[in-house]
Structure formats: structure tokens, C-alpha cells
Amino acid sequence: MERETGIEPATNSLEGCDSTIELLPRIPSHFSKLPSWHDGTGLQRRISPPSSISGAITLPGDKSISHRYAMIAAISEGETRIHNYSTGADCHSTLGCVRALGIEVEAAGTEILIRGKGLEGLRRPTADLDAGNSGSTIRMLSGILAGQPFPTRIFGDESLSRRPMRRIMQPLAQMGARIRAREDQFPPLEIEGGRLRPIHYDLPVPSAQVKTCVLFAGLFVEGETSVTESLRSRDHTEIALREFGANLQVERGAIRITGSPRLAGRELRVPSDLSSAAFFLAAALLVPGSSLVIHGVGMNPTRSALLDFLVSMGARIRILNLESRNGELVGDIVVEHSTLRGGVIEKGLTAALIDEIPVLAVLGAATEQGLTVRDAAELRIKETDRIRTVADNLRRMGVAVEETEDGMVIPGRQKFRAAALDSFGDHRIAMAFAVAALRADGESVIDGAEAASVSFPEFWETLRACYQ
């Protein structure tokens, strides 16, 4: 595959320091269709170690919350105005699907206006729905599609087409939907819903996407649908549904929702994404002399295990200006370079940190005692097999890592060698290894850097802004 090296003249490098993040051609707007990173349009980023990661930054809106607000707004009555909507391509895939279902969406940057038409207001799309790279879009929206009196077909890109869907097909089938999938488990999905019945569903895997899918389908039934989970997964759906007026109770691991509510459009602000902040937390912790403030970050307790885990390893992190907004906790994070002890991620903690494990693995190599990750088989079925893609890139940097079936063991006190790295088309791998490159002994190159746009198109500019 021929890649665009596109290195611009040195005048485009950061000035005033001998180390750089090279500026490269901007990728096309993420509001249009993303370029595929499998078709030879991949971009590279060159990164040299900075003297510190410092300053104050703001990050795009939370991806999980943005998806949910857009989907619920579409089936609510009246206008919903969403501020700070995620700029990530994934959340724009959700908006594309909502539009295709006959809902008017106006997007001006991160300000989104959705004119919802109520629970019965969606229209049969004239073409298949495109979920792009977004597992959240296909899995959560399927709950809504199953409640429609018309059939739909929803597909995704090459990576999404390899991700398992049985986890949502099973509960939806129990509710009475008929779903066909490639090889009975992969997208595209053909969903024939209609009249659904309420169920009680015990989540076999701790998955907020599956929980959401069932709760969304539960909006279209008469009676009460419930979902029980043995490990508490992120609860943005529960919070958002209540904000829009649904009748929902949560009690000892059981979430109960009453069907056919009247959902009302409203005005909401999305907090910045803690999972995006994770890359900057790791960068500041890793690079000596760093001191960084990250404003307005979502601190929902079902997400903030990341902060507890970092603090338990000795990270100097403070939270300021904590407040509640639309039922979600929001605060500013102050982080300073710290020597970290290392630790173990296993059991419930693995589920709580699942999206952050790639960057924590990078951080782990620089800790005193290293990092062990267990019970993380789910990582193998994310956008890439993240155990393999993390281990591959770590090894390219000369970092020792033992790969296990459901995790990895990374010894501590290791040095990062500058290397040619690859995103493998996975946004979190691109960003995790941009962080690793900050601590390398020279200039590293990341291939397929544009993958970051799936959740965080401004990642490279934001990194440049705090790169001293």
C-alpha cells in the first residue's frame, strides 16, 4: 500500500524546540465521509519527544453520551439542542443514520439540533443504514430499529463487519424481532421488528451497548422490560433516558423501563470525553516536567475508574470544579508527571477500563513494577484485536510484552525506542502510540494516523497545543 508521507517543510514543525510533531496534510472534514485507511490514503504523523506536556486543553464531547443523546432525541417529541456533540466520525455515523430515518438534523460544528418526531415518527429509510466504524451505532440503534413497523438493513466498514452481533441479536429475538446477519453473527444486519414483547434479560457479558440496545427496544413495548448486570457498565443510557422523561428504575444491578413513554426534546450539553482525556493524562504522567489542565471532563462514576486506578499507582491527579450537568458529573482535571508503581487490571476493573487499556499498556512499561492485564478477551473483538496491536507496536519500540489469551504482561522500567508504528486503522491504537512516541529516544512515525478521527479528529492539533 502506498502511503502519503506528506512531510511538510521544517517551518511547519513546532518552533522553539528541537523536537517536533510534524504537521501533515489535514484529512478531509470528518463531517463528510471518512477516507478509508485501507485504501492507500493513510497519513503518517512524525513525533519526537517533547520537553514536557503542559498547558490547558479542552477535548471533544463524550462519544458514548453523544450517541445516546442523538438516538433518544430522534424518538423524542420536539427539538433537542445538543451542545459540544462529539466531533468523532462514529457519532456522525449515528447522525447519518438518524437522518436516513427521516429525522431532521442540523449540525453547526459541535452544536446539533435534532427535530424529533416521537416514538412512532421514524420513516423507512430509502437505503441501507451506514454505521461506519461504530459498534455503538449498530448495537444501540438496533434496539430502536427492532421497534419499527418497517424492515431495515444496517452495515459498517471492514472492521465493524468483523465484530460480533449475536450479543444483541439474542435479546432482540427474545423480544420478538427477526434479525438476519452474515454467518448468523456479523454485520450487515437485517432487522424486522414490529410488535415486541417485554423481557427480563440477564447480560451474559458486561456491555453497556447491549444493555442500551435492550432498554431502547423496551421503549417500544407495552409493559416493563428489565436488564440485570452483574458488573455495573457505564450508565449514560439510564441517565439520558431519565433526562428525556422515561420512567426508569435502577435497583441492585437491575434496570427497569416502562414501555411507550412520552419522551420530550430538550437542551443538553455533552461533557468532554474521559476516554479521550486518557491519552493526555498518560502523556503528562509519562513525560518528566509535565503539568496539564483538562477542562470540563465527564466524571461519571461508571467511567472514572481510570482516575482511581491511576491515583492508586501514584499519579498526581486533582479534580477541580466538580458539578452535575444533565445528570452527568463534570470537572476539570489537573495532572502532573508522576512516577507510577504499576499494577494489575483484572475482573471488574478490566471491564471498567476496557477502552483505556491500550494507553495504560503504554504507561505500564514505564512504571516501576509493570502492568498485568487479565480477563480482557473483549479486547480481541474491538476495532482491532487490541491485545495483538498493542503488543505488536510495543515490540517495535523494543518494549518487552507477554501476550496472553485474555491479556498481557508488561514488565516495568522499560525504555521506548523510536520506531515505525501502525494504527492498524484503530483510533485508540493511533493515539496510544502517539503517547508512547513522546517518551521514545528519537523520532517515531505513526502510519494510519487519520484513524484517530473516529473518536477524536482534533487529537493531533490538541497534542501540538500542549507539546512544549
Binding footprint of ligand S3P on the chain (CB under 6 A): 64, 136, 207-209, 233-234, 354-355
* Active site positions, annotated: 355
If you ran DSSP here, which 8-state letter would residue 414 be given? P
- Give min distance, CB of 374 to ligand S3P, in A: 17
- Residue 209 or 389: which CB sits closer to ligand S3P? 209
Distance CA 121, CA 454 (A): 29
Cα torsion 222, 137, 379, 253 to 10°: value is -30
Peptide bond into 28 cis (omega under 30): no
- Give min distance, CB of 64 to ligand S3P, in A: 3
Q: For 173, phi and psi rounded to 5 degrees?
A: -65, -40
- Give min distance, CB of 209 to ligand S3P, in A: 4
- Residue 47 or 454: which CB sits closer to ligand S3P? 454
Of 442, 400, 366, 456, nearest to 20 by C-alpha is 442
Place of cell 440485570: 228
Of 441, 364, 346, nearest to 400 by C-alpha is 364
Which helix (DSSP H) or strand (DSSP E) does residue 291 occupy?
Answer: strand 291-298
- Residue 46 or 68: which CB sits closer to ligand S3P? 68
CB-based contact 453:89 (threshold 8 Å)? yes
- Residue 14 or 381: which CB sits closer to ligand S3P? 381
Q: For 61, phi and psi rounded to 5 degrees?
A: -60, 150
- Residue 91 or 105: which CB sits closer to ligand S3P? 91
Distance CA 153, CA 413 (A): 50
- Give min distance, CB of 354 to ligand S3P, in A: 5
- Give min distance, CB of 59 to ligand S3P, in A: 16
186-192 vs 178-182, strand pairing mode: antiparallel
Q: Residue number with the shortest CB distance to ligand S3P?
A: 64
- Residue 54 or 233: which CB sits closer to ligand S3P? 233
SS3 328: strand
- Give min distance, CB of 69 to ligand S3P, in A: 12
Other Cβ atoms closer than 10 A to 402 = 11
